[in-house]
Amino acid sequence: MNDNGWLFVAAAKGIQRYVLSGDKLTEMIGASERVDRLPRQVLNALLREAGVAAKPLTQAAGGARLLCQNETDARRLALLWPAIASNFAPGLEMACAIAPVDDRLGTALTVAENRLLRHRNEPQIPLPPAGPLVARNPRSGLPAVTTVNKDGWLDIAAARQRLLNDPAHFGLLGRVIPDKAQAPAYRRNFDDFVQSGSNYVAVLHADVNGLGQAVQRMIPELDAMPLDEATDKYTRFSAATARATEAAAQSAVGGYLTALQQRTGRPIEAFAFRPIVCAGEDFTAVMQADDAVDFVRTYLTALEQQSAAALRKLGLSSLPAEGFTACAGIVFCKRNYPFLQAYAVAESLCAYAKKHSGRRASALAFTRIKSSLTAGEGYADIVEAAFTSAGSVLTMNPYHVGDRPRNGLPSLAGLEQLRDALQGVPRNQLREFVSRVYDGPDAADLAFERLEMLLEDRNQERKLEALKEGFRAVSGAGLWEERQGQSRRTPLYDALELLQFSSARPSRQPAGQRLNQPSHHYRANLRRHH
């Protein structure tokens, strides 16, 4: 008989897929709110109705860890919770596991998480199966249960999601708004997310570096403590990381709203932003494209500061006193592009930033989707297929953000300086340089030399010097950064993309004068490499 209780752990599978697969903003709002409510209101209601006494250790993002008094209560929860969660959020898969605590909470957490991982890898079959004559939702392909005049047939998941898209139900969005009393209205349609002259929105995903490793280092320290103290420490740690994420999001949203008001010169009536996930480790959102880079920079910098302040208060030697860093990916895509695919690229960008930063610095990688083709293996394939030719690479992703050491990364602040220097530079010369990269390194260098000569002939030496200083600010190099054993890289195209999606940019170029994009190389290069 175990007198120290049993640990119950539960986690939702594929949250982003569940939220983003609908593509309709009304469904995304309802889906994200259902995920947010599951471990709080719904699980708490189940505990009350089932008469289960349990101490919450974590409750966030569709998952929970509870310390139950006995094995019977833990097993009851493990049986009931998947059915209750499926009824509240149809289409969202849930995995559960239990483990005895004995005297060591850390070991129990490890055992339960390993069991949970095995359960998460088990496929779940939707029941009951639909027959061949059943009507289906044309966007999801799932069996329909109701119809809406404007949108036609809806499956059970879409129908339930639409029930929680009223502003009165916006619990997740409310937690990332710095001042809910003064908050503007929330745009409810993706058509309202785009600026005049643009058709793009931003899908962003950020992930904390090394949080899982920090928990693993904390396990022996928790095991060495009395159970009550270990439970208190772990609960406070989980709450601290969740508060740091929410506080960073609030800083970013506050900066976004301030920038909007400064640009318009009047109070903001509505803003284009929707969080998808805001938990202790992940942050995912869809927002207006022009402010996405500024938003992520503020979020990553604030997360470093907030996590450092929170962790110092815990008194755990296994945790980094300097706090956590994080990496992020931003995808700029058309408002009618499948958001689930856009999220997959954003997640790949985030992983790419983690890899190239060594998970020791905050970093941002971004790209624009200009083709229906995306690389199957991730952003590295996109770089190889679309931005690499003859030993030259047209991107320097990822870029360093935040207050911590750069760890060899190019600087986002430097890239923004280069972006500003490009304003007023003849566009036809920039178009020629981008095109000539694919003709070989000599042709690209010659095209840039012609640009330099043009600026000198026009007595625009100050603009030319600002351009050169911008390149140096990125990585200390010039037009090209060359490292032994690697292809040479330039930040010029990244700066041009940043200029395209920047709240500080000048008025947009007429459609016939925009920069040529390397999207026409996707098909040829993908055919060559695959």
Strands 54-60 and 63-68: antiparallel
Residue 250 predicted with pLDDT over 70: yes
* pLDDT digits 0-9 by tens, 4-20: 789 999 999 888 888 88
pLDDT for 508 equals 39
For residue 163, the tally of other CB atoms under 10 A from its CB is 11
Residue 196 predicted with pLDDT over 70: no
User: Which range, 20-34, 270-284, 449-463, 484-498, has the best average confidence (pLDDT)?
Assistant: 484-498
User: Which range, 110-119, 132-141, 298-307, 402-411, has the best average confidence (pLDDT)?
Assistant: 298-307
The percentage of the chain sitting over the pLDDT mark of 90, rounded to a whole number, equals 42
pLDDT for 165 equals 63
The percentage of the chain sitting over the pLDDT mark of 70, rounded to a whole number, equals 88
pLDDT for 505 equals 47
Residue 114 predicted with pLDDT over 50: yes
Residue 523 predicted with pLDDT over 50: no
CA–CA gap between residue 418 and residue 473 (Å, rounded): 8
CA–CA gap between residue 13 and residue 313 (Å, rounded): 32
Complete DSSP assignment for 134-167: S-B-TTT-PBEEEEETTTEEEEHHHHHHGGG-SG
pLDDT for 167 equals 59
* pLDDT digits 0-9 by tens, 342-360: 999 999 999 999 999 999 9
Q: How confident is the model at residue 519 (pLDDT cuts 50, 70, 90)?
A: very low
CA–CA gap between residue 341 and residue 228 (Å, rounded): 45
CA–CA gap between residue 182 and residue 204 (Å, rounded): 25
Phi, psi of 40 (to 5 degrees): -100, -85
3-state SS, residue 502: coil
- Calculate Rg over the CA atoms of the chain: 25
Q: How confident is the model at residue 72 (pLDDT cuts 50, 70, 90)?
A: very high
Mean pLDDT of 272-290: 87
Please enumerate, as own/partner, the contacts of 409-413 that have beta carbons within 8 Å and a separation of 24 or more: 409/356, 409/357, 409/361, 409/363, 410/474, 410/475, 410/481, 410/491, 411/473, 411/474, 411/475, 412/293, 412/297, 412/364, 413/473
Mean pLDDT of 50-79: 92
Mean pLDDT of 313-329: 91
CA–CA gap between residue 45 and residue 38 (Å, rounded): 10
Q: Which residue has the tokens 């880079």?
A: 293
Mean pLDDT of 150-173: 76
Q: Which of 108, 110, 90 is nearest to 100 (CA)?
A: 108
